Amino acid sequence: MGRVIGIDLGTTYSCVSYLEGGKPVVIPNLEGLPTTPSVVSFTGAGERLVGTLALRQAVTNPTSTFFAVKRLIGQKFISAQVQEALPRLPYGLREAANGDVALVLGDQTLSPPEISAMVLGYLKTCAESFFGEPVTQAVITVPAHFNDAQRQATKDAATICGLDVLRVINEPTAAGLAYGLDARKNGLIAVYDLGGGTFDITILEASDGVFNVLATNGDSYLGGEDFDHRILEWLVTDFRAETGIDLSKDKLALQRLKEAAERAKRELSFTAETEINLPFIVSDQNRSSHIRKTLSRPVFEAMTADLVERTVPHIEKALAEARLTPDRIDHVILVGGQTRMPLVKGQVARFFGRAPEEKIDPDQTVAMGAAIQSGILDGQVRDLVLLLDVTPFALGIETESDGYEMIIEKNMTIPTRKVKAFTTVEHNQRRVRLHVLQGEGFLASMNKSLAVFELVGIEPAPAGVPQIDVTFEINADGLVQVSAKDKETGLSQKIEVRPSSGLSTAEVEALKRKQSGPGAAARTANG
């Protein structure tokens, strides 16, 4: 096995790490920085930029600069999340032929996995430059509350850029690994992960090298982007009241506002107030208008308090599912850049009755945990005996009259396998349609459809006589495989639950050839 890297593909920033002497080490990008903006931009000349240079294009080239794509990966265009994002984003979105969301670039479209592959490919290049040799294997992290479609789309992105994914690991679990290896502490750990686009809470138990995830919960559409947007909305509303001009219709102005909002948010984590100064936000031959406002921490906290409060029910659910109370938790760790906000730290401290631990870097620890997982896989890390993660959603199949039979329960340790017997509902029924669903709703229509397949060739018999075993298997990456077998005939059918959305295997391979072909390289700040 060659070099294996650990990658945290973040909504706003990404990070890559490797294991050296049993310790995780962050690999700097080509500019010497530990993290890379998860941004891809295309210039008018057709040049592709990734990272910091792409981020610099955001104001001057907003319609061809793609950011926060992680929030779109594995999503349908008609989903509430995508529809909410539409007016916020300067670049265009449209519905793909299979119903997925597609990103508009001039007269063509790109899929979210394709853009994510460009970010991953840049991180791969950074690692290869660092080592001076090719890198083809990786452990990649995803939010714990990512569903099957989002996980598969992330793996597709890695495949497109030429990476073989040895394992997909949940971000808070990776952070727990990194913390556990460094602190050498046993006990119950709560990992509160509020990043740029997603929120997860994971409760795990560390005991002499065994990391057992007890429960996980979260919101795959809550993060720092929402905090930025609150400042942006405040600026737009105030400017409209003062001038009568609606900046929300001006993509260039919106991008300047977004950058200013993110900068102000970061500064307010360390200062009591900050000034937002945007000269010539609107300018024409008749007049020029400017924005110059002071934003205080209390005002910012008031405008975002509900976002922080939205995390609390998820913590409560995770603790309830783990059969624990807040006072039982021994260690609380914060992950994700948004946890630097004093209001977030205070909310977490009040909930658990203890201050969160400050030793780990919230931006780098997930990638470091991924590197540790690579060491577990190849035997470099021997003092971490076992990692037991869980599935974040229940799984089952549709039964007659919109019924739902749950087969895999939420928070079941993975990998796992479970078999359940079913039968026919009509006399002489020769085929059975199996509709695989994800969720905890008591009706089939309340859950998310994952896949549909049929078992054909059942021997004619009265309804209720045939015995059909349906087997659900979830691998260590959290990906699902379902099979059905007729006991009488021995006929079986199996499907790797590749969501009805997403790229096909042929499309992934075509994009892989495209990205590795001539002219595929992206420019960075170093050339």
184 and 72 together in one domain:
yes
Rounded to an integer, what distance in angstroms lies between the CA atom of residue 327 and that of residue 150? 34
- 523 within some domain: no
| Band of residue 517 on the pLDDT scale cut at 50, 70, 90 | low
Position 226 scores a pLDDT of 95
135 close to 3: Cβ distance less than 8 angstroms? yes
Packing angle, helices 297-309 and 342-352, rounded to 10: 50
296: domain CATH number is 3.90.640.10
User: What would the mean pLDDT of 226-246 be, rounded to a whole number?
Assistant: 94
Q: Are residues 217 and 228 in the same domain?
A: no
Res. 483 pLDDT band, cuts 50 70 90: confident
* Residue with more model confidence, 145 or 380: 145
Q: What is the CATH number of the domain that holds 404?
A: 2.60.34.10
Residue 519 lies in a domain: no
Q: In one letter, which amino acid is 335?
A: V
Please give the biggest Cα pair distance in the chain: 83
Distance CA 350, CA 308 (A): 12
Query: Are both 337 and 273 inside the same structural domain?
Result: no
Q: Per DSSP, what are the bridge partners of residue 215?
A: 203
Q: What is the pLDDT of residue 495?
A: 60
**Hey, what long-range contacts does 284-289 have (CB within 8 A, 24 or more apart)?**
289/239, 289/243, 289/245
pLDDT at 184: 66
Pair 428, 352 in one domain: no
Per-residue pLDDT tens for 304-315? Answer: 999 999 999 999
Q: In the structure, what pLDDT confidence band is assigned to residue 518 with cuts at 50, 70 and 90?
A: very low
285 pLDDT band (50/70/90 cuts)? low
Please give the residue that has the higher pLDDT: either 517 or 283. Answer: 283
**Dihedral sign computed on CA atoms, order 446, 447, 450, 452:** negative
Residue 320 has pLDDT above 70, yes or no: yes
Residue 444 in domain: yes
Q: What is the mean pLDDT of residues 502-511?
A: 79
- Do 178 and 201 lie in one domain? The reply is yes
Q: Quickly list DSSP for 271-304.
A: SSEEEEEEEEEEE-SS-EEEEEEEEEHHHHHHHH
Identify whether 311 is part of a domain.
no
Give the mean pLDDT of 374-394.
77
The lowest-confidence range among 48-52, 188-192, 389-393 is: 389-393
Assess whether 429 and 451 both reside in one domain: yes
What is the C-alpha separation between 172 and 373, in angstroms, rounded?
13
Would you say residue 525 has pLDDT above 50?
no
Residue 1 is predicted with a pLDDT of 56
* Residue-number span of the structural domain to which 154 is assigned: 4-221+318-390
Same domain, 359 and 426: no
Quick one: pLDDT at residue 383?
62
Structure confidence at residue 382 (pLDDT): 67
Tell me the pairing of strands 101-105 and 108-110.
Answer: antiparallel
Residue 69 CA to residue 49 CA, distance in Å, equals 15
- Same domain membership, residue 360 and residue 300: no
Whether residue 116 is found in the same domain as residue 229? no
pLDDT digits (tens, 9 = 90+) for 427-481: 888 888 888 888 889 899 998 888 787 778 788 888 888 888 888 888 888 888 8
Q: Which residues are catalytic?
A: 8, 70, 171, 193
Q: State how far the Cα of 403 lies from the Cα of 384, in Å rounded to an integer.
A: 43
Average of per-residue pLDDT across 334-363: 93
Query: Are 41 and 179 found together in one domain?
Result: yes
65-69, 153-157, 265-269, 469-473: range with lowest mean pLDDT: 469-473
Question: Strand, coil or helix: what is 203?
Answer: strand
Please tell me the predicted confidence (pLDDT) of residue 100.
92
**Residue 286: per-residue pLDDT:** 72
Query: Are 339 and 301 contained in the same domain?
Result: no
46, part of any domain: yes
User: Number of folded domains in the chain?
Assistant: 3
Name 295's bridge partners.
274
From CA 156, how far away is CA 503, in angstroms rounded?
8
Among 77-91, 171-185, 265-279, which stretch is predicted with the lowest mean pLDDT? 171-185
Closest CA to 53 of 36, 72, 75, 68: 36
- Give the dihedral of Cα atoms 440, 210, 142, 504; nearest 10 deg: -80
Q: Is residue 247 part of a domain?
A: yes
> Which residues sit opposite 450 in a β-bridge?
none
- Report the distance separating Cα 446 and Cα 440, nearest Å: 8
Query: What confidence tier does 377 reach under pLDDT thresholds 50, 70, 90?
Result: confident
- pTM for the whole thing? 0.87
Top mean-pLDDT range of 216-220, 306-310, 412-416, 510-514: 306-310
The string of DSSP codes covering 387-418 is: EEEE-SS-EEEEETTTEEEEEE-TT-EESEEE
Residues 124, 20 share a domain: yes
Q: Is the pLDDT of residue 172 over 50?
A: yes
Edge-to-edge order in the sheet of strand 468-474: 416-422, 468-474, 480-486, 492-496
User: For residue 385, what pLDDT is reported?
Assistant: 54
How far is residue 128's CA from residue 328's CA, in Å, rounded to a whole number?
A: 44
Span 503-522, mean pLDDT?
70
| Structural domain includes residue 508 | no
Range in 46-55, 358-367, 456-465 the model is least confident about: 456-465
Last residue of a domain, one of 390, 419, 435: 390
- What CATH number should be reported for the domain holding residue 147? 3.30.420.40
287 part of a folded domain: yes
